[in-house]
């Protein structure tokens, strides 16, 4: 994958992770357990995608996030 696409994908994933973490903290404060579990699953998926990119596609000499 070309370098610029890796950068853009990691920026997108990082933004989504930050948003999900913020919503999760609010769900914890609101005591909304179902939303909290949903967001934890979303976070898990996003982190796994970023981990896959790092291990299999990204340049080994570059850290994107």
pLDDT digit string (tens) for 20-52? 999 999 999 999 999 999 999 999 999 999 899
Q: What is the pTM of this model?
A: 0.81
pLDDT tops 80 at residue 58? no
pLDDT tops 90 at residue 54? no
8 Å CB contact between 53 and 8: no
8 Å CB contact between 37 and 29: no
Residue 65 binned pLDDT confidence (cut-offs 50, 70, 90): low
State residue 62's pLDDT score.
72
């Amino acid at each position: 994958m070309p370098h610029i696409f890796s950068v853009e994908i990691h920026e997108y994933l990082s933004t989504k992770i930050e948003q999900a973490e913020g919503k999760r903290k609010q769900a914890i404060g609101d005591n909304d357990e179902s939303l909290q579990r949903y967001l934890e699953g979303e976070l898990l998926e996003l982190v796994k995608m970023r981990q896959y990119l790092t291990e299999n596609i990204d340049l080994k000499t570059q850290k994107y996030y």
